[in-house]
Amino acid sequence: MQLKVSVISDRPDEYIGKKGLVKNQVITCQDVDPSGYRLLMPFDYTMSEDEKAKYAGKLQDKLIVIGVRELTPFGGRLRARGAIITGPDGKN
Q: What is the pTM of this model?
A: 0.86
**Can you tell me the distance from the alpha carbon of 71 to that of 60, in angstroms, rounded to the nearest whole number?**
21
pLDDT of residue 69: 95
User: Over the stretch 69-90, which tens digit does the pLDDT of each residue have?
Assistant: 999 998 888 999 999 999 888 7
Smallest Cα–Cα separation from 68: which of 24, 2, 5? 2
pLDDT less than 70: residues of the chain: 92
Q: Is residue 74 part of a domain?
A: yes
pLDDT of residue 92: 67
Identify whether the C-beta of residue 81 lies closer than 8 Å to the C-beta of residue 69: yes
Q: Is residue 91 part of a domain?
A: no
Residue 73's SS3 state is strand
Per the structure, the count of domains in the chain is 1
Q: Is residue 52 part of a domain?
A: yes
Q: Is residue 92 part of a domain?
A: no
Domain that holds residue 25: 2-86
**Can you tell me the distance from the alpha carbon of 29 to that of 7, in angstroms, rounded to the nearest whole number?**
5
Q: Is residue 30 part of a domain?
A: yes
CATH number at residue 41: 2.40.50
Identify whether the C-beta of residue 84 lies closer than 8 Å to the C-beta of residue 1: no
